[in-house]
Structure 1
Amino acid sequence: MKYIKLGNTGLDVSQLCLGCMSFGDSDIWVHDWLLDEEESRPIIKKALELGINFFDTANVYSLGRSEEILGNALNDYANRDEIVIATKVYGEMREEPNGSGLSRKAIMTEIDKSLERLGTDYIDLYIIHRWDYNTPIEETMEALHDLKKAGKVRYIGASAMYTWQFQKAQYVAEKNGWTKFVSMQNHLNLLNREEEREMVPFCKEENIALTPYSPLASGRLARPWSESTERSRSDEIAKRKYGAMEEADQKVVERVAELAKDKGVEMVQISLAWLMHKKQVTIPIIGGTKLAHLESAVPAVSVELTQEEIEFLEEPYIPHKVVGHN
């Protein structure tokens, strides 16, 4: 495993991050392919054994169960000082008033609940999951700044928003002397490259870490186009992300498969290596429901791509609809 700095910080993180949305309880959340605690623990343990020290979850994943599962495993298997935990706030945790969003009240309530579920007294990277159109960004940024000053979080990040929103948040923080975001968890992969238009250049200019989610397009970039899985057949969210442009996407996937065959590696390694060759991209967030998913992903950190190979992968791409920001 390779370790690099998280953007414009001194924090050392593994070049792959384990995303923990797959860990939880399908009885209480939207996906039927989730792994319960007994099934999740071996994957978390394997990630640690492979050198991954960066773990990403969210309060809304299985309404807190993902945080609980991750916290229990890390407290059993890892030294807290050596691992980096990211979690998120915004999603609806209950249907009552103040049960979601980025108001000061919601943030102050949810941070304490996340800390309890994770079994830790601080979060390394606290991320706003979406843009809150109903709360002034000044209120959100001041609340996040206060969490850092209180020692409950070390750094703050953002996810899935338009560049003008992200830039506005950074401006508000700088104007008031508050903590600025150090990372952007955005939707970026070979099948959806719309972030290259504005968000990627902005983050490169400001040395903000990019930690793309869905780097394999929900598995589409990890297997031949003709193959499918239980998740790909049942995941309605993934279908909404990638179902509209399948004719164009197939051409890209076929090029990933061709290049993987030529280089004698797996498709997943080509897809992740493409992201990691983007100099402004810090860490793709990989999911995993099987040990083999991690074992096949980790070698990607050592896969080298030439400029010609990168252009070969990118050439069939056509503009896509922006998805994930709302």
Structure 2
Amino acid sequence: MEYVKLGNTGLDVSRIALGCMSFGIGERGDFPWALDEERSRPMIKKALELGINFFDTANVYSGGTSEEITGRLLKEYANRDEIVIASKVFYPVRQGPNSGGLSRKAIMSEIDKTLKRLGTDYVDLYYTHRWDYNTPIEETMEALHDVVKAGKARYIGGSTMYAWQFLKANHVAEKNGWTKFIAMQNHYNLLYREEEREMLPLCKEDKIGVIPWSPLAAGRLARPWGEEDERSKVDAIGKAIYSATADSDRQVVERLTEIAKKRGVPMSQIALAWLLHKEPVTAPVVGTTEISHIEDAVAAVSLKLTPEEISLLEKPYVPHPVLGMTF
């Protein structure tokens, strides 16, 4: 495993982050394919054995049970001082007023609930899960600053927003002497490269860590075109994001399949290796429901692609509608 600094900080993170959205009690959320605690256990254990120290979850995943399972298993198998835990706030975990968003009330309430579920005194990285159009960004950034100053989060980051929004948030923080975002978790993979236009250049210029979500496009970059697994059959979010661009995406997947066959490695390794070649990507968030998914992700860290292979993978891409801001 390789370790790098997260953005312009001194924090060491593995080049693969384990996405813990796959862990939880399925009937408590939107993910019927989620693994319960006993089936999650070998995933966490294998990730740690292979050197992954970066774990990503959110308050909303499986009604909070992802945080509960992740927290219990990491406490059992890991040294808290060596691992990096990230969680998120925005989506409502319950029904009713003040149940979601990025108001001061919501942030202060949800960070305490997240810490209780995780069984820890602090998270290393606390993301805003989406942009809140109904709360002034000044209110959000001051609340997040107070969370950091209270010792409940070490760093803060943003997820899935426009570049102007990310820049505005950090400008507001800098102007007021508040804590700034040091990481961006955005939607970026071989099938969706619109982040290369504005967000990635901004993050590179400002030394922001980039932690892409859905690096395998909800599994579309892990298997030949047309094949499905149990998750893809019921994954409404993945279908909503990628169905509209299926014709052009197919050409990318076919190129990926060809290169993987020539290399004699799984397609997922090639897709992740491509992502790890892109600046300023720090660590893609890789979800897993099988041990092999973790092993392939870690193997991708040492897989070097040739310029010719990268060109072949990128050439079929066509501009896509901007996606992910509302998912």
TM-score relative to the length of structure 2: 0.98
| 1:306-325 mapped onto 2 (5 Å cutoff) | 306-325=306-325
SS for the counterpart of 2:127 is strand
Query: Which whole-Å deviations, capped at 9, do the CAs of 1:241-260 have from their partners, x for residues lacking one?
Result: 11111111111001111111
Amino acid at match of 1:136: P
Aligned residues: 326
How many Å separate the matches in 2 of 1:131 and 1:227?
Answer: 34
Q: Which residue of 2 aligns with 1:243?
A: 243
Amino acid at match of 1:312: L
Deviation at 1:41, TM superposition (A): 1.2
Deviation at 1:228, TM superposition (A): 1.1
Amino acid at match of 1:31: F
How many Å separate the matches in 2 of 1:239 and 1:78?
Answer: 35
Task: Name the Cα RMSD after superposition.
Answer: 0.8
Deviation at 1:266, TM superposition (A): 1.6
SS for the counterpart of 1:82 is coil
SS for the counterpart of 1:21 is helix
Amino acid at match of 2:175: K
How many Å separate the matches in 2 of 1:94 and 1:226?
Answer: 37
How many Å separate the matches in 2 of 1:296 and 1:215?
Answer: 13
Deviation at 1:323, TM superposition (A): 1.3
Q: Which residue of 2 aligns with 1:41?
A: 41
Given that 2:125 and 2:156 are in contact with CA atoms closer than 8 Å, whether structure 1 keeps it comes out as yes
Q: Which residue of 2 aligns with 1:140?
A: 140
Amino acid at match of 1:265: V
Deviation at 1:227, TM superposition (A): 1.7
SS for the counterpart of 1:255 is helix
Q: Which residue of 2 aligns with 1:75?
A: 75
Deviation at 1:264, TM superposition (A): 2.3
Query: Which whole-Å deviations, capped at 9, do the CAs of 1:124-164 have from their partners, x for residues lacking one?
Result: 00000000011000000001111111111100001001111
Amino acid at match of 2:37: E
| 1:267-306 mapped onto 2 (5 Å cutoff) | 267-306=267-306
Q: Which moved more, 1:270-279 or 1:26-35?
A: 26-35
SS for the counterpart of 2:81 is helix
| 1:128-207 mapped onto 2 (5 Å cutoff) | 128-207=128-207
Deviation at 1:296, TM superposition (A): 1.6
How many Å separate the matches in 2 of 1:149 and 1:46?
Answer: 34
How many Å separate the matches in 2 of 1:240 and 1:322?
Answer: 13
How many Å separate the matches in 2 of 1:55 and 1:313?
Answer: 29
Deviation at 1:190, TM superposition (A): 0.3
Q: Which moved more, 1:151-160 or 1:29-38?
A: 29-38
Given that 2:200 and 2:279 are in contact with CA atoms closer than 8 Å, whether structure 1 keeps it comes out as no
How many Å separate the matches in 1 of 2:200 and 2:114?
Answer: 29
Q: Which moved more, 1:31-40 or 1:68-77?
A: 31-40
Q: Which residue of 2 aligns with 1:9?
A: 9
Query: Which whole-Å deviations, capped at 9, do the CAs of 1:222-272 have from their partners, x for residues lacking one?
Result: 111132111111111100011111111111001111111222222111100
Query: Which whole-Å deviations, capped at 9, do the CAs of 1:5-35 have from their partners, x for residues lacking one?
Result: 1011110000000001111111121121111
Structure 1: where are the runs of 5+ without partners?
A: none
How many Å separate the matches in 2 of 1:30 and 1:226?
Answer: 24
How many Å separate the matches in 2 of 1:168 and 1:160?
Answer: 14
Amino acid at match of 2:49: E
SS for the counterpart of 2:311 is helix
Query: Which whole-Å deviations, capped at 9, do the CAs of 1:26-63 have from their partners, x for residues lacking one?
Result: 11211211111111111111110111000000000012
TM-score relative to the length of structure 1: 0.99
SS for the counterpart of 1:124 is strand
Q: Which residue of 1 aligns with 2:225?
A: 225
> Aligned residues: percent identity?
67
How many Å separate the matches in 2 of 1:62 and 1:155?
Answer: 24
How many Å separate the matches in 1 of 2:242 and 2:41?
Answer: 30
Structure 2: where are the runs of 5+ without partners?
A: none
SS for the counterpart of 1:244 is helix
